[in-house]
Amino acid sequence: MQLNHKNITQSLLGASCTLLGSNVHAQKWDIDAAILYYGEPDRVQAIEAIVSGTKEYSTDHSLSLKVVVDSLTGASANGAIEQATPQTFTRPSGNGQYTVDANTTPLDDTFRDTRVQLSAQWTQPLNRQWVYSGGANVSREYDYQSIALNSSFSRYFNTKNTTLTLGASLSFDSVDPVGGRPVALSEMVVDSGQFNNENDFDTAFNLTRDIDSENRNTVDVIFGLTQVMSKRWITQFNLSLSDVDGYLNDPYKLFSTVNNQGEAISQRFESRPDTRFKQAIFAQSKYHFSRSILDASIRIADDDWDISSQTLDIKYRFLLNNNHYIQPRFRYYQQDEAFFYQPFLSVNSTQPDYISADYRIGRLNAYTIGLKYGFKNKKGNDYAVRLEYYTQTPENPGVILPEPLTNEAVFPSVDALILQFNYSF
Amino acid sequence: MRRLLFLFLLLNLGGCSQLGVHAWERGTLAKDDMALTADAVDLSLDDHIYFSKEGTSGGRGFAGGGCGCN
């Protein structure tokens, strides 16, 4: 076919419309936006804003874009053990110190970061039975960056009542901590007047640091089954595997070496294995009663760090008149400790290759209770607010505490308030 | 908890005799509220909170990294 000027103009117009997503079949963007406040008394405060947009280009072809910005300030437990006397620590940067009062959980109050995350996801049918979805995710914060790619294929069976999905994700992360990476198991250098000058301190500090950044790569695979059970009931089952390889230490976490009198005689940087293999089973069921919806999910997970966990999450949405709803929520989480978790190291013990006093990989229970209220106006815009209370209760995994430490909060609980506003249009 | 999962699976299997519906019977399931990933923004924010505070992540979706989350 010979292309005349009109043909070319029309072709170019069509191509540009396709690129811009403005062909005649295109729908408008569906936007979901939310802002969340997360606050722990005397600890971390975070604000997180998220805007997510989805546009359908033709039947079941859709593009989703998401931007997340979060800002964190406040204090985070540094892993050292509470003492009956004040304790002084060097800031992660090596510039300055902070002192923790007696009988107070040691918190590093220099915790401050801003994270930006961008995500894109494309989904389209390949034919009447198969659907493909692929996406990318980029995240950047001061000391951490991540690039991730994902792909999944789904196949319908039984007139779309059954869907099997196989998905995989590759994530390439880079860790570049403030002040460099602490050498695992090295002792924190604290200037207590023993150095002649600043250069001597810097020399000692630098001996405990590796300057170059480190990588962390993750491969995730998920096998999922979605089943329509009845006109009111849908279920999902996922089996997921995750293989993490690289730098897995938390560079800001310490553990204390404690003598028989319960006194911390040194603070050292934690050491974790450089691989982790995780597996989880997840099941979810949603049932629509005449004026309410039950959404219940359960997750059972374990890994080769011996962290096994159970999670139960129940949301019950009461559908009120005029498109209003109210939704109570209860979540329960329980985990066992990693094999190398110790709240402190006793001087009577040999120093192991791997040790962490980070309570988040210790034995703990956590509960979330909350309430969400939302409504849809006549234009179809959704508004919602949710308020939740989250509490974590770390437990002693069976460690015998020296007598003086029984008066200290060795396993302090953490409480948090979560407040979120949603707007969709 | 494992017993709960077993009960959960058993309850699901109990519905097997009437598995699936015809296309014209999906009105209720097609409601936004009934999507398994309804309130996706909430799920995303929750993932970030619990990834930061607990030893386990993922299950519903990919468990992978994405933040330092100290």
Kindly provide the ipTM of the predicted complex, given to two decimals: 0.87
For residue A9, pLDDT beyond 50:
no
Of A157-166, A402-411, B42-51, the range with the lowest mean pLDDT is A402-411
pLDDT value at residue A110: 79
Q: What is the CA radius of gyration of chain B?
A: 17
pLDDT in tens, A278-300: 999 999 999 999 999 999 999 99
For residue A391, pLDDT beyond 90:
yes
For residue B64, pLDDT beyond 70:
no
Residue A175, domain member (yes or no): yes
pLDDT value at residue B18: 55
Place B29 in a pLDDT band, splitting at 50, 70 and 90. Answer: very high
**B37: contact with A, CB 8 A cutoff:** no
pLDDT value at residue B61: 84
Pair type for strands A144-157 and A97-100: unpaired
Residue A81, domain member (yes or no): yes
Place B8 in a pLDDT band, splitting at 50, 70 and 90. Answer: low
Residue A16, domain member (yes or no): no
- Considering only CA atoms, which of A345, A175, A341, A337 is closest in space to residue A259? A345
d(CA B24, CA B26): 6
Q: What SS3 state is found at A204?
A: helix
Residues 153-172 of A with CB under 8 A from B: 158-162, 167, 169, 171
Task: Decide if A298 and B44 are in contact by the 8 Å CB cutoff.
Answer: no
Task: Decide if B15 and A233 are in contact by the 8 Å CB cutoff.
Answer: yes
Task: Report the pLDDT averaged over residues A396-409.
Answer: 89
Task: Report the pLDDT averaged over residues A335-340.
Answer: 96
Total Cβ atoms within 10 A of residue A378: 7
pLDDT in tens, A107-164: 988 778 899 999 999 999 999 999 999 999 999 998 899 999 999 999 999 989 999 9
**Class of residue A24 by CB neighbours under 10 A (exposed 0-12, middle 13-18, buried 19+):** exposed
The number of C-alpha atoms within 13 Å of A247 and in the hemisphere containing its C-beta is 19
Q: Among residues of chain A, what percentage have pLDDT more than 70?
A: 94
Range of the domain at A93: 32-424
- Interior angle at CA A27, CA A24 and CA A29, nearest 5: 140
DSSP assignment string, A111-149: EEEEEEEEEEEEEEESSSSEEEEEEEEEEEETTEEEEEE
Q: Which of the given ranges, A73-82, A274-283, B1-10, has the highest pLDDT on average?
A: A274-283
Query: Which residues partner with A278 through β-bridges?
Result: A242, A303
Residue A13, domain member (yes or no): no
- Phi (first) and psi of residue A14, to 5 degrees: -60, -45
A409: its two tokens: 């909060």
Query: Higher model confidence: residue B14 or residue A398?
Result: A398
Residues in chain A with CB shorter than 8 Å from the CB of B30 are none
Place B3 in a pLDDT band, splitting at 50, 70 and 90. Answer: low
N-term to C-term CA, chain A: 45
> What letter would DSSP give residue B50?
H
For residue A81, pLDDT beyond 50:
yes
pLDDT in tens, A224-277: 999 999 999 999 999 999 999 999 999 999 999 999 999 999 999 999 999 999
Task: Say which CATH number the domain at A59 has.
Answer: 2.40.160.40
In the block, tokens 């014209």 appear at B24
For B49, nearest residue in chain A (alpha carbons): A38
Residues in chain A with CB shorter than 8 Å from the CB of B11 are 285
For residue A2, pLDDT beyond 80:
no
Pair type for strands A214-230 and A162-175: antiparallel
Size of interface A-B (CB pairs under 8 A): 209
Q: Among residues of chain A, what percentage have pLDDT more than 90?
A: 78
pLDDT value at residue B5: 54
Task: Report the pLDDT averaged over residues A298-314.
Answer: 97
Segment (H or E) for B8: helix B2-14
pLDDT value at residue A109: 84
Closest approach of B2 to chain A, Cα-based (Å): 8
For residue A6, pLDDT beyond 60:
no
Number of domains observed in the structure of chain A: 1
Task: Decide if A242 and B64 are in contact by the 8 Å CB cutoff.
Answer: yes
Residue A217, domain member (yes or no): yes
d(CA A410, CA A258): 12
Residue A4, domain member (yes or no): no
For residue B66, pLDDT beyond 70:
no
pLDDT value at residue B9: 53
Residue A188, domain member (yes or no): yes
